[in-house]
Amino acid sequence: MLFKAIFTNSVGTLVSRILGFIRDLLTASVLGANIYSDIFFVAFKFPNLFRRIVAEGAFTQTFLPTFTASKHKTLFGSIIFLKFMAFIIVFSILVTIFSYTFTKIFAFGFSEENILLAQDFVVINFYYLDFIFIVAFLSTLLQCKNHFATSAFSTALLNIALIVALLISQKMEKIDIVYYLSYAVLIGGFLQVITHYIASKNRRLNRYFTFDFKLLKAKQEIVEDDTKRFNRQFIPSVFGNSTAQISSFLDTFLASFLITGSISYLYYANRVFQLPLALFAIATSTALFPMVSKAIYKKEIDEAFKMLKKGFWFLAYLLFVSTIIGVIFSDEITKLLFERGEFSQNDSFNTSWALQMYLIGLIPFGLSRIFSLWLYSEHKQIVAAKIAAKSLIANIIFSLILIYPMQHAGLALAGTIGGFILFFLTIKEFGIDKFYEILKSVHLLYLTILSIVVVVVSIFLKDLLHVYL
């Protein structure tokens, strides 16, 4: 069941990421790395930051264990959904009214002219959050039924919408292309909602939700304990699950003070970095989380630990190989994916440099996810939040230290350093003894041999490419 779920998530993620790379390839070719691409990435990153922190990250990590343990799932699920939906709608309206202020917060280094140019796109893209929260809620219900395919494959719909928008608008003015991309984001979000609604209805998960406000008001006291538990855990979970996202926002904020294109270099590099992270780490943790949560709730700790151990070694091998190959072939990967049209050789060099810095942190960031889910399953969101805060502080300090000597690549390296700190502190809370028990389950000689083979083969292939290309 575990590896089937991981495989489903990985294949779905792979399909989506392939389409995502096609999207990025077209974006780099059509827009290049300039103020227009910077504006779109800032506008698109705004809802994505809140999506990953609130709608998908903290919400799922907090809602799923509480929902699993609740004896009144329909009441609890309905109350939480309606409260969140109301908050997100109000927040979206505030972003619309105060678009200049929110744009300046996310791109403080932009000139006055560019802030005025970007604010409309920030508003349009932000309404994607309204759609994606519905997707996150329905996706969590589907996970409870061990159904992962819909969520894994539906993200491709957003990329398809953006690809179509780029193909239609590629010969237009760059400002018009950004408009097409922004509205395509909303269309992609709407399509994701439709697919999740159909999947949920087919599995009769609509019985876990009601719009009967009189019933909810009359019986909300029944789930008062569940609601209070969720509320206590949610805010800490926001911080505990958002280190990478806040780090990404910090990169964008500081990069806006650097040369034009720096935001785009970090965006493209991070997109490549996110492929193995999503394909392996997120797919594995998504599959593990409901299983581990249920096992811990049933007091089957040994079974939960056994599943975690399998997930750890499966993920560790894949992330290690991905890191070695990615670092060695960073130049070739960047040139192959992006260097065409408006994207120059110098843009490729700058993007490759940032990619190398990001990839060094692939293993700690990836492995942190599966150990963090153990903490979430034990309702230790507050502990996870403290760990994330320490990691984030380190990230900020090193960003300020490295930004001038290394420019945009220093920001990527600072995030990686924060990832190592996050991993170490998470393991410490999980238990050094338990972590050592996991490490003992595989002979280190095999890991050493694997390391040597991967490095040697990668270097040989790189030299071979230079000879024949």
Per-residue pLDDT of the chain (469 residues; tens, 9 = 90+): 556 666 676 677 778 778 877 888 788 788 877 778 888 888 887 777 666 665 556 777 777 777 777 777 878 888 888 888 888 899 999 989 998 888 887 777 777 888 888 888 889 998 998 998 899 888 888 877 777 778 778 888 998 999 999 999 888 888 889 899 999 999 999 999 999 999 888 888 877 777 766 667 767 777 777 788 887 777 777 766 666 667 777 777 788 788 878 888 888 898 889 888 877 887 787 777 777 777 877 778 888 888 888 888 888 888 888 898 888 888 888 888 888 777 788 888 889 999 999 999 999 988 988 888 888 777 787 888 888 889 989 999 999 999 888 888 889 999 899 999 999 999 999 888 888 888 876 655 566 666 666 666 666 565 555 544 4
- Predicted confidence at residue 162, as pLDDT, reads 92
Indicate the domain borders of the chain.
2-468
Q: Is the pTM of this model over 0.85?
A: no
Q: What is the pLDDT of residue 468?
A: 45
Alpha-carbon distance of 218 to 402, in angstroms, equals 56
CB atoms within 10 A of CB 425: 18
pLDDT value for 469: 44
Structural tokens at position 455: 């490095």
Give the model's pLDDT for residue 375. Answer: 83
pLDDT at residue 56, rounded to an integer: 55
- Report d(CA 244, CA 352) in Å as an integer: 20
